[in-house]
């Protein structure tokens, strides 16, 4: 007699009790899987957002990550085009790459001098065509709408600003920014722009710009030699950047424009070469190869490789937070399952005391009795896990097709609320193995008690 | 076949603060291939003596030797294996496993004795035929009468071809007519298969069918009647 067959028959003896225990386990499995699927989706959503914006890996000056924000121009990559060529044509890297593109970050002051307001900003110069390719990356098949980046189709002197920048520079009305209330009167408590800056700004404008009514800003930045340089730029759009801290300082501009502002007639540089891979799982291999190249072919410049998790610490923090919540939930559910199964098996042992005595009398070893009850617990766990996975998949399907939306952290537009259970083989297998193991473990103590029964006492049990 | 030998066996149960002697210095030899009945009033020590012979209880003092094997120093696993191979049990309340069919109940002890599958099947079919339940092989015990269940229990006890079958008051839960038929069946099987049957019973019909009768009172053997001479007992 197969122990599992015997265990199944014994479980069917008291169907109501077995069913109650199963329901507890199914609820536990569904909770774990749905929350796991939800947090997995958040992870993938966050990762996709960061990979759209900053790629999987970036090649930077070796000190740029720690010191570059103070003076980005001082940490530029002089021969960035050579770096791009080497990386793009490398036989090992090429199959893993989707996009290789330069970016240039700069710090400066954006002013709407007509309104007498200005603020410090961080500008990012990008190659729009490449950025548009980057936002098409969807390794996890998330249900989001691919939109071209805001700078698409704009002239060289166009910029896109964060809504926070638009608000401070009093551009909300001109840019038709929703939910952006402007104060009636701005009390400027600082001095006017210095005369030389104002003169530079005036020089940067063409006669047409001076009379145009389209929103403009003057972007002042220190060039590579430390001298101030100003560009008068057309503001095409204000785009919420998700995080207020970033939204309040963001200015996006064309790479060529940013390079002109920082390097003037000097050879242009970039602060990073962004690499977007076809698959996130390729990061370790790509990184290893890049480090080889930096140590050999590209050793003339002091460069380093950073991955998106290092560049975006919030990603790791969010993942860790969800992992901690998931672990805590799994622990609680595991404890509930443990006590439920243990209680069920304890009752079964009491009810079947005479049977245990009979089995021992006819020659079943103590280990056989233990195996019998542990098998029952494990089988209960297995049935509960299978039913739980099936129900979780069904509920996930319902949720994914319900049309519910939410705004993930760091994003602006609502995205469909989805729960990713189907395809998450490791998570499903982990939940199943965990549930079966907890159920078997729960049965072990009652099984041990059953195995240690005195045969004569067990046979006398009424 | 070897006899069952008990030498100076004593057993005392400790109930709260009271010590209850169940067996006191019992010396007994049970002949092989006999129908032996241990008889005595309630509380006389019949069941305790049977438990000692069946190796499911251990004496405080003395030695029990069954089928040539001294039980004293055997581990629990070794005693389990010994029971599986050498001893069949018939219980007062039948004690069939309710989730197993009649066939499976009879087959189960042979699984523990590692009898090959084909032989198991053959033996089960033969035994069920012998006890008149061949047509109930796929029934569950709950679908049988008391007499039928005890017949299944007899078949189960004989299934691993044991040296001894121990029966603790096997007719106590049966009406007199069924009880009588069960005694006849056991006697028949005992003779046919040349197995030693040891009963605890105070049923006069069981006592009347015995080759040997062991009288016990207050944990001491009062009398052993050898009703069938050694010469008539198969070797």
The answer to whether the Cβ–Cβ distance between A1 and B112 falls below 8 Å is no
Taking alpha carbons only, the member of A268, A307, A302 closest to residue A73 is A268
At B232, the pLDDT band (50, 70, 90 cuts) reads: confident
pLDDT number for residue A203: 61
Q: From the candidates A352, A362, A364, which should be mutated to test the interface with B, based on the most B CB atoms within 10 A? A: A362
pLDDT number for residue B122: 95
Q: Radius of gyration (Cα) for chain A, nearest Å? A: 32
Give the three-state DSSP class for B163: coil
pLDDT number for residue A211: 47
Residue in A354, A355, A361 closest to B54 by CB: A361
Q: From the candidates A1, A11, A361, A366, which should be mutated to test the interface with B, based on the most B CB atoms within 10 A? A: A361
CA distance A130 to A275: 11
CB neighbours of B221 closer than 8 A, spacing ≥ 6? B26, B27, B28, B214, B215
CB neighbours of B1 closer than 8 A, spacing ≥ 6? B32, B33, B67, B163, B196, B235
- A355 contacts in chain B (CB < 8 Å): 95, 97-98
Do B32 and B2 form a contact (C-beta atoms < 8 A)? Answer: yes
CB neighbours of A2 closer than 8 A, spacing ≥ 6? none
pLDDT number for residue A380: 93
The answer to whether the Cβ–Cβ distance between B97 and A358 falls below 8 Å is yes
Residue in B57, B99, B112 closest to A363 by CB: B112
Distance between B198 CA and the closest CA of chain A, angstroms: 15
Q: In this structure, is the dihedral angle defined by the CA atoms of residues A371, A375, A381 and A385, taken in order, positive or negative?
A: positive
The answer to whether the Cβ–Cβ distance between B89 and A9 falls below 8 Å is no
Do A306 and A90 form a contact (C-beta atoms < 8 A)? Answer: no
- A361 contacts in chain B (CB < 8 Å): 54, 56, 83, 89
CA distance A348 to A13: 10
CA distance B125 to A41: 60
The answer to whether the Cβ–Cβ distance between B84 and A362 falls below 8 Å is yes
- A360 contacts in chain B (CB < 8 Å): 56, 80
Is 0.95 surpassed by the pTM of this model?
Answer: no
Angle (CA) B71-B74-B76 rounded to 5° is 115
- B95 contacts in chain A (CB < 8 Å): 354-355, 357-358, 459
pLDDT number for residue B88: 94
Do A36 and A326 form a contact (C-beta atoms < 8 A)? Answer: yes
| pLDDT one-digit tens code per residue, A256-312 | 999 999 998 889 999 999 999 999 999 999 999 999 999 999 998 899 999 999 999
Can you spell out the DSSP letters for B52-66?
HHTTSS--SEEEEEE
Instruction: Give the long-range contacts of residues A397-400, CB within 8 A, separation 24 or more.
Output: A397/A422, A399/A34
Distance between B147 CA and the closest CA of chain A, angstroms: 19
Give the lowest-confidence range in A96-110, B140-154, B175-189. Answer: B175-189
| Element holding B147 (H helix, E strand) | helix B146-158
CA distance A395 to B179: 60
Do A392 and A421 form a contact (C-beta atoms < 8 A)? Answer: yes
Residue in B97, B104, B109 closest to A355 by CB: B97
Residue in A1, A13, A354 closest to B104 by CB: A1
Structure-block tokens of residue A104 = 């240039």
pLDDT number for residue A294: 94
Partners of residue B199 on adjacent β-strands: B37, B167
Do A18 and A11 form a contact (C-beta atoms < 8 A)? Answer: yes
Identify the closest residue of chain B to A455 by CA–CA distance.
B56
A135 Rama sector, left if φ>0, alpha if ψ -120 to 50, beta otherwise: alpha
CB neighbours of B44 closer than 8 A, spacing ≥ 6? B216, B217, B218, B219
Question: Burial code of A86-103, b = ≥16 C-beta within 10 A, e = fewer?
Answer: bbeebeebeebbbbbbbb
Taking alpha carbons only, the member of B102, B93, B106 closest to residue B171 is B93
Q: Does ipTM top 0.90?
A: yes
Do A214 and A244 form a contact (C-beta atoms < 8 A)? Answer: no
Taking alpha carbons only, the member of A89, A21, A26, A84 closest to residue A57 is A84
Which residues of chain A are modeled with pLDDT < 70? Answer: 1, 183-213, 410
- A367 contacts in chain B (CB < 8 Å): 77
CA distance B79 to A310: 65
Maximum C-alpha span of chain A: 109
The answer to whether the Cβ–Cβ distance between B85 and A363 falls below 8 Å is yes
Taking alpha carbons only, the member of B50, B85, B69, B106 closest to residue B161 is B85
The answer to whether the Cβ–Cβ distance between B108 and A1 falls below 8 Å is yes
Taking alpha carbons only, the member of B133, B147, B142, B83 closest to residue B103 is B133
At B76, the pLDDT band (50, 70, 90 cuts) reads: very high
Helix, strand, coil percent values for chain B (each to nearest 5): 40, 30, 35
Q: Radius of gyration (Cα) for chain B, nearest Å? A: 17
CA distance A32 to A45: 20
pLDDT number for residue A454: 94
């Amino acid at each position: 007699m197969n122990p599992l067959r015997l265990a199944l028959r014994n479980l069917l003896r008291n169907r109501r009790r077995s069913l109650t225990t199963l329901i507890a386990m199914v609820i536990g499995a569904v909770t774990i899987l749905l929350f796991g699927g939800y947090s997995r989706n958040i992870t993938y959503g966050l990762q996709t957002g960061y990979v759209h914006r900053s790629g999987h890996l970036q090649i930077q000056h070796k000190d740029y990550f720690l010191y570059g924000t103070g003076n980005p121009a001082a940490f530029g990559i002089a021969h960035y085009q050579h770096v791009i060529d080497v990386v793009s044509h490398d036989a090992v890297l090429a199959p893993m790459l989707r996009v290789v593109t330069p970016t240039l970050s700069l710090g400066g002051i954006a002013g709407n001098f007509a309104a007498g307001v200005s603020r410090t900003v961080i500008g990012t110069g990008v190659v729009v065509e490449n950025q548009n390719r980057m936002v098409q990356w969807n390794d996890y098949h998330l249900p989001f709408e691919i939109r071209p980046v805001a700078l698409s189709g704009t002239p060289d002197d166009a910029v896109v600003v964060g809504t926070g920048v638009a608000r401070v520079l009093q551009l909300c009305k001109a840019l038709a920014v929703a939910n952006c209330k402007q104060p009636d009167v701005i009390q400027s408590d600082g001095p006017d722009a210095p005369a030389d800056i104002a003169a530079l700004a005036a020089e940067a404008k063409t006669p047409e710009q001076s009379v145009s009514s389209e929103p403009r800003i003057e972007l002042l930045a220190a060039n590579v030699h430390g001298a101030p340089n100003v560009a008068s730029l057309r503001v095409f759009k204000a785009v919420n950047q998700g995080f207020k801290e970033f939204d309040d300082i963001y200015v996006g501009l064309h790479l060529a424009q940013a390079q002109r502002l920082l390097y003037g007639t000097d050879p242009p540089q970039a602060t990073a070469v962004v690499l977007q891979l076809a698959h996130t799982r390729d990061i370790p291999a790509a990184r290893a190869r890049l480090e080889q190249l930096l140590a050999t072919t590209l050793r003339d410049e002091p460069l380093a490789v950073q991955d998106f998790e290092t560049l975006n610490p919030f990603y790791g923090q969010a993942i860790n937070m969800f992992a901690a919540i998931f672990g805590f939930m799994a622990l609680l559910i595991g404890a509930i399952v443990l006590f439920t199964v243990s209680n069920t098996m304890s009752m079964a042992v009491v009810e079947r005391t005479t049977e245990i005595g009979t089995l021992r009398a006819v020659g079943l070893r103590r280990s056989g009795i233990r195996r019998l009850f542990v098998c029952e617990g494990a089988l209960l766990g297995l049935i509960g896990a299978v039913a739980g996975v099936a129900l979780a998949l069904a509920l996930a399907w319902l949720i994914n097709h319900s049309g519910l939306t939410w705004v993930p952290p760091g994003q602006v537009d609502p995205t469909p609320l989805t729960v990713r259970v189907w395809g998450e083989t490791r998570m499903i297998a982990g939940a199943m193995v965990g549930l079966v193991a907890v159920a078997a473990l729960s049965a072990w103590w009652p099984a041990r008690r059953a195995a240690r029964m005195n045969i004569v006492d067990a046979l006398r049990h009424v | 076949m070897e006899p069952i030998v008990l030498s100076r066996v004593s057993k005392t149960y400790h109930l709260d603060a009271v010590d209850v002697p169940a067996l006191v210095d019992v010396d007994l030899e049970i002949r092989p291939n006999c129908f032996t009945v241990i008889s005595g009033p309630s509380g006389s020590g019949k069941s305790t003596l049977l438990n000692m012979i069946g190796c499911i209880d251990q004496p405080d003092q003395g030695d029990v030797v069954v089928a040539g094997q001294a039980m004293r120093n055997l581990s629990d696993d070794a005693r389990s294996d010994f029971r599986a191979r050498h001893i069949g049990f018939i219980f007062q309340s039948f004690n069939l496993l309710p989730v197993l069919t009649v066939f499976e109940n009879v087959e189960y002890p042979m699984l523990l004795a590692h009898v090959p599958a084909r032989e198991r099947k053959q033996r089960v079919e033969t035994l069920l035929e012998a006890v008149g339940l061949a047509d109930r092989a796929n029934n569950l015990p709950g679908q049988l009468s008391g007499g039928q269940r005890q017949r299944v229990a007899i078949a189960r006890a004989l299934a691993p071809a044991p040296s001894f079958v121990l029966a603790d008051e096997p007719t106590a839960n049966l009406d007199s007519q069924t009880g009588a038929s069960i005694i006849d069946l056991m006697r028949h099987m005992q003779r046919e298969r040349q197995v030693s049957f040891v009963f605890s019973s105070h049923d006069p019909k069981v006592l009347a069918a015995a080759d040997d009768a062991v009288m016990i009172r207050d944990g001491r053997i009062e009398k052993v009647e050898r009703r069938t001479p050694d010469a008539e007992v198969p070797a």
